[in-house]
Amino acid sequence: MVQKCPRPRHRKGDPDEQKVFKEQVRSLWDDPTVDLWFQDETGFWADPPPYRVWTKKGTVPILPRINSHARCNVMGAARPLDGETFTLITSHGDSRMLQIFIREMQPYLDPDKRTVMVLDNARFHKAKSIDWGNIEPLYLPAYSPELNPIEELWLQMKKNYFKAWIPSKTEPLDERVFMAMKFFDQHPEKVQSICAMSAYFRE
């Protein structure tokens, strides 16, 4: 017997739909003519929730709060094959911002490949007004965030850069977010490891 941390899974997710989707993505992954990306949005708060920290027995660690509602929004896409990322700080998340993100990403796409972007079912992701250009959107099954590996990248980014961190005049929230994005952009091998396709290939 060994202790393991349970993998979170939404109870409304349909296992049969997820199985079919996994097979579809595995087929795309194995196709050398396909450039496979995963997209998502996230927010970074000036007052992030506290994480567990090491402390002396009998003491209680204190994390100062600044009672700020400041938030920095990010749209991003990751390519697990080689760890490449494309991220953009946005004022909010809607179809207009997504259109800007898609337009800015176009020059970074491989023109000789079929680009498939996996993303969730947010209403604005399916807006008819969006011009996807050379991108083919592929929507996740409902209630299946565990099938989007970029979710793990957001989690690691927040743990590594915002654990016990408080914004200041010398380092405001958006600059800290930019620093985190830049680090992972410059270290694709870390993104490749974090965004491993384990949810698609484990039994």
Query: Looking at domain 15-45+71-198, what is its CATH homologous superfamily?
Result: Ribonuclease H-like superfamily/Ribonuclease H (3.30.420.10)
pLDDT above 70: residue 2:
no
pLDDT tens digit sequence for 66-103: 555 688 999 999 999 999 999 999 999 999 999 999 99
DSSP code of residue 92: S
Q: Using an 8 Å Cβ cutoff, are 72 and 89 in contact?
A: yes
Domain residue spans in the chain? 15-45+71-198
Question: How far is residue 83's CA from residue 195's CA, in Å, rounded to a whole number?
Answer: 8
Cα–Cα separations (whole angstroms), residue 7 to 51, 149, 199: 18, 13, 10
Lowest mean pLDDT among 14-18, 127-131, 133-137, 199-203: 199-203
Q: What share of the chain is helix, strand, coil (3-state, %, to 5)?
A: 35, 20, 45
Q: Given CA atoms 158, 160, 164, 169 in this order, what sign does their dihedral have?
A: negative
Contact indicator for 76, 182 with CB cutoff of 8 Å: no
**Both tokens assigned to 96:** 């207009």
pTM: predicted TM-score of the whole model, two decimal places:
0.86
Q: How far apart are CA 173 and CA 167, in angstroms?
A: 5
- What is the Cα–Cα distance from 67 to 81, expressed in whole angstroms? 40
pLDDT tens, 125-175? 999 999 999 999 999 999 999 999 999 999 999 988 888 777 887 789 999
pLDDT confidence of residue 49: 63
Confidence of residue 63 (pLDDT cuts 50, 70, 90): low
Helix (H) or strand (E) holding 43: strand 34-45
